[in-house]
Structure 1
């Protein structure tokens, strides 16, 4: 390795960007063109699809793959409980369970990490904690949990005995308690050294305790059924909410925050806002949360070739499916507007506020294009609610650098216009260009073991690089090796009393 580069394989004085692939076990995630003959998403429910994707991403030195998930169809468009457009277009419907995919991908890779979405409405925390613990054991610490409070009534009706989604604030209050239960199970039920494997003793019962959680939504006595692992102890905590409640939740709990904006200036404001909340309300300093922006790159050998690719891909876009996605994401039935209505003029305040920052354009759009229903639907067919960066690898890298310089974002969630073509182009053309500029590493650090996801995100310089940073609110909930049960309980009870004061 050249002496002009540091131990991570990049030139000094550059932010080392994090690259994640954004995927989902569904025919279409952030686009609606499964019928394009160059698109392989029809095979989303095969092992080869996921194994090949994971191998490709590791070849490109991606930090990880993030798996989105929903538990119901998008049924806001064209009236409530109408999932016709989602079904016909394959727009995030049907779906398969994401955690099972990780086992196959982890077996085929060494360093690639995995973020997986689980909603706090979907199952009891005790059950989810065991699933996450199992994944983190089997992958040797390559797991993160994307904490979502749910946003689809269609999911809630099936999870809550036919009831609609609880009010927004209530969902976050429930998510807060859910997360606290997860902390207690992972960190406070077993001591680090509870598993002894000597003198005929597998685990020492004196180093295992019940958590005795009794709350508004959950009663979980414990003890946890899974032993602690030496890799991360608890999976990386990820969050994607952008409401006031979501930002506050992220400021307190998240180690990684996914954000989607159409302008780097707005992205920078969002990042600064969450960092400010984290510091002022929870004592978490700058750098304790990393931020990732969603993008869809379309790369050509020339600018003209990239534009032609964009136009060709968009021909297969399903306009009805795009509107089903938009209506589901925003909760606003876009069918109430005429196709040629300028929605920024006639829409509700909620729609107007959302579209104020909408500057997404395809190569055929003029600078003065109106934000009509037809225009919005067309733009969603590629990239969904995120920007599309199209051009040569150099042009796309320039845009990435521009966004980083303006917003101070830490990395990007890269999703596809075509699968696997988009990821192949990123690996073959964009990653080498970013490496040349010192923006991403040239290889995974060789530690003689897999990197944990937390090390992928925060580096390997900290003393306990695979555990939560010491300013995270759950840091002190860890039952450390050498502590008796009484010592540990006295310590956390004292911490609880200080917090109550």
Structure 2
């Protein structure tokens, strides 16, 4: 396989803004900063302004996280979650897409949807509709859920076993492939006003699915959209999650606590993707980062100090408690947190098994209320660090979290983007085409080596006799 470090030396950085339809997302407590406007998250103008800002910065996409449920593990209640607005309240992210698409031409939208609480048909219909309305700019971040509070809200008895959730995800995705790829042929839509044929009946096929988790029979209601299947994002890091992601995903959201560990993870993903019969470059790898930047390194450090004054490390702990399924409030500041198997995010919880971690360690990692790698400095300093990070690890790009909204994204666009462009590592204009084509330069559809291929309906040659038969039948009925 091609050496990852050499392969990454000249590639341009891909960039998503990472956000959530809520006040607090990753960097908790900063909603209290006087300049922060995240309390406007329930106003449409907040999101359309953000979309316009990101498109001016040539961002590849806006990646919107979501959860079903609430963070109630810390102290066994939601008091701190409510006080600090730790992703509560939070609203449906898919409702934002059409408005943001209307004020942009190129920005992609990666929307998180938990399949555990969705009907495959209704979900597939909604996302196919969004792909139509955005002209092929929609992506789906596939998650299976990890919160017991979500199970109670939905009315289930308890969280499914981790591996069983992925087994369900496999079938959910298979059925969605059938809807998106297997029901309508590309040229089914005729729009023939003279012969009164909007759709050729011979080119629309009924789906038949009888599985362990889902059953479906009938014709998908949505005609083929620009991408057919939305761009597929995934963040699985457990053994089962990696197997699922390297089989299906086109972009993965990964993380590690050091560049060396991240490079090991990147190499593992590339190798496993190749073993799945896919090109290892068919998956774009993104790592979450937080950036604080200003005109000089000194001013950036001053800004960081200002931000720290408003951030809430304890809110970060409350968020993290639900991620690992352990109430971290029970441990003393310098007490090593013991490993305990849970049904939550397996890859995150496993870190307690691999290394000794205390509450003080976690609070030090949460100085801005979040645990993503923190890069501080002038635009030139940040650009150099991002390039070095990408070249050393082999990732393809970054998911940039917000700190103080909207100034953190505005600062990044004003100060960092030009420095990346001057170094030839960031685009100076968008390419035309769908989100998938922008990411891979390989057209609008999933590649021929992707497992979706087995579910695609085979196009039939345009059969004039079948159309004429339909017309004759129609004439008989009207005679």
- Residue in structure 2 matched with residue 50 of structure 1 by the alignment: 47
Q: Secondary structure at the match of 1:221?
A: strand
Q: Offset of 1:348 from its aligned partner? A: 2.8
From 366, 379, 385, the counterpart of 1:380: 366
Bigger fraction of residues in helix: 2
Unpaired runs of at least 5, structure 1: 1-11, 359-369, 486-501
Once the two structures are superposed, the pairs formed by residues 64-143 of structure 1 within 5 Å of their partners are 64-79=61-76, 82-143=77-138
- Residue in structure 2 matched with residue 222 of structure 1 by the alignment: 218
From 159, 162, 173, the counterpart of 2:167: 173
Name the CA shift for 1:211/1:315 in 2 (closer, same or farther; >3 Å): same
The number of residue pairs the alignment matches comes to: 447
- Residue in structure 1 matched with residue 151 of structure 2 by the alignment: 156
**Alpha-carbon distance in structure 2 between the residues aligned to 1:457 and 1:31:** 28
Kept after mapping to 2: 8 A contact 1:211/1:223: yes
- Residue in structure 1 matched with residue 4 of structure 2 by the alignment: none
TM-score, normalised by the number of residues in structure 1 = 0.85
After superposition, the C-alpha distances for 1:290-348 in whole angstroms (9 at most, x for unaligned) are: 10110010002222211121121111122432121110122222112112x142xx533
Greater mean deviation of Cα atoms: 314-323 or 325-334: 314-323
Q: Secondary structure at the match of 1:456?
A: helix
TM-score, normalised by the number of residues in structure 2 = 0.89
- Residue in structure 1 matched with residue 20 of structure 2 by the alignment: 24
Matched, 1:457 2:428: no
- Residue in structure 1 matched with residue 139 of structure 2 by the alignment: 144
- Residue in structure 2 matched with residue 347 of structure 1 by the alignment: 338
Kept after mapping to 2: 8 A contact 1:295/1:383: no
- Residue in structure 1 matched with residue 10 of structure 2 by the alignment: 14
- Residue in structure 1 matched with residue 345 of structure 2 by the alignment: none
Kept after mapping to 2: 8 A contact 1:248/1:274: no
Q: Offset of 1:349 from its aligned partner? A: 6.6
- Residue in structure 1 matched with residue 418 of structure 2 by the alignment: 432
- Residue in structure 2 matched with residue 482 of structure 1 by the alignment: 460
Q: Secondary structure at the match of 2:111?
A: strand
**Alpha-carbon distance in structure 2 between the residues aligned to 1:266 and 1:21:** 24
**Alpha-carbon distance in structure 1 between the residues aligned to 2:350 and 2:203:** 53
- Residue in structure 2 matched with residue 202 of structure 1 by the alignment: 198
Q: Secondary structure at the match of 1:397?
A: helix
From 179, 183, 188, the counterpart of 1:189: 183
Unpaired runs of at least 5, structure 2: 1-7, 342-347, 464-479
Kept after mapping to 2: 8 A contact 1:383/1:417: no
Kept after mapping to 2: 8 A contact 1:22/1:66: yes
Kept after mapping to 2: 8 A contact 1:30/1:381: no
**Alpha-carbon distance in structure 1 between the residues aligned to 2:12 and 2:378:** 22
Q: Offset of 1:483 from its aligned partner? A: 5.1
From 322, 328, 341, the counterpart of 2:322: 328
- Residue in structure 1 matched with residue 249 of structure 2 by the alignment: 254
The list of structure 1 runs, each at least 4 consecutive aligned residues, that deviate by more than 6 angstroms after superposition, is 349-352
Kept after mapping to 2: 8 A contact 1:88/1:321: no
Kept after mapping to 1: 8 A contact 2:324/2:349: no
Name the CA shift for 1:387/1:352 in 2 (closer, same or farther; >3 Å): same
